Amino acid sequence: MKTEAKVGLFVLVCAAILLIVVYRVSSVQIRGARVSYRTYLRYAGGLEPGADVLFGGITVGAVTAVRPDAQDPTRIEILLDVKQGTPLNAKSVAKLGSVTLVTNPVISVSTGSNDAPRLPAGSVIASQETISLDDTERKIDALADSANTLLDAVHTDVTDAQRLIAHLNDITGKPNQQHIANVLASADTIVARTSPRINEMSDQVLKLTNNANGVMAKVGPAVDNLNATVSNANETITLLREPGQADLAEVRKTLIDLQAAMRAKDQDLTYTLENVRMITDNLNELTESIKERPWSLVRIRQPKDRKVPSLPRKP
């Protein structure tokens, strides 16, 4: 290879390396430093790497990867690169969204709370599931079914209302209206006839009320005198109560003493009756003895008892 060719190739390689370095440096300066985060959703809704990451509606980064979670295949792991200095905090919530109806889906992160601690790099951002199109369609179908049921019920109610209006028209027809007018006219006539009697009864009730007021005015002093009499009787009873209680106490004491004396006399009488009983018993014994042995009144000594004769012995 000629020297000129070698020099040209070396210049081209150096130019390529210079372009690559310039591109990397310019992209880093334009994009700035990035911090990685992750979040998890059950439904990604067509989200792809490169989708924007919005923080409070402001683009702050991009999605770097969308893949099923290795530990839980029922959820999707989403990796995010966010500009350094973005105030993601523990109260921030990530969800699937879109700026307009025709744009691609994006990851929207809420601003959270200023008092919440900031999330360090590599942390998991809390997520909130969004309603998918399939869920929306199912809800619309359920709402349509409910609307049809409601329309059927409204149609039934309208039919019932029409029947009710027809019945009301029958009730409020001209014959019934004429009958009601006659009833009202009769009621007016009855009220006109009974009004004078009602007025007379009102006057009589007023007179009775006035008479009752007069009677109450006359009875008032008598009631006052009766109250005074009752008050005097109460005072008299109060004055007599204490002496009466003292007399009752003296009578009670006298009865107690009398009861004690009667108990003592009762004991002496018991002793006397016991002595009389003993004397009576002795007299009874003496009488029986005299009846059996009358000679005891003459002889001092009692004769000996006769011997019972003995029977001869058999040979």
Q: Please say if the pLDDT value at position 125 is more than 60.
A: yes
Predicted local distance difference test score (pLDDT) of residue 272: 75
Which of 70-84, 285-299, 300-314 is predicted with the least confidence, judged by mean pLDDT? 300-314
**pTM strictly above 0.75:** no
Strand order in the sheet with 106-109: 34-41, 76-83, 58-68, 52-55, 106-109, 93-97, 126-128
Per-residue pLDDT tens for 43-81?
Answer: 888 889 999 999 988 999 999 999 999 999 899 999 999
Res. 29 pLDDT band, cuts 50 70 90: very low
Res. 174 pLDDT band, cuts 50 70 90: confident
Q: Give the residue-averaged pLDDT of 197-213.
A: 78
Q: Please say if the pLDDT value at position 222 is more than 50.
A: yes
Q: Give the residue-averaged pLDDT of 226-253.
A: 71
Extents of the domains making up the chain: 29-130, 131-171
Predicted local distance difference test score (pLDDT) of residue 19: 82
Predicted local distance difference test score (pLDDT) of residue 30: 47
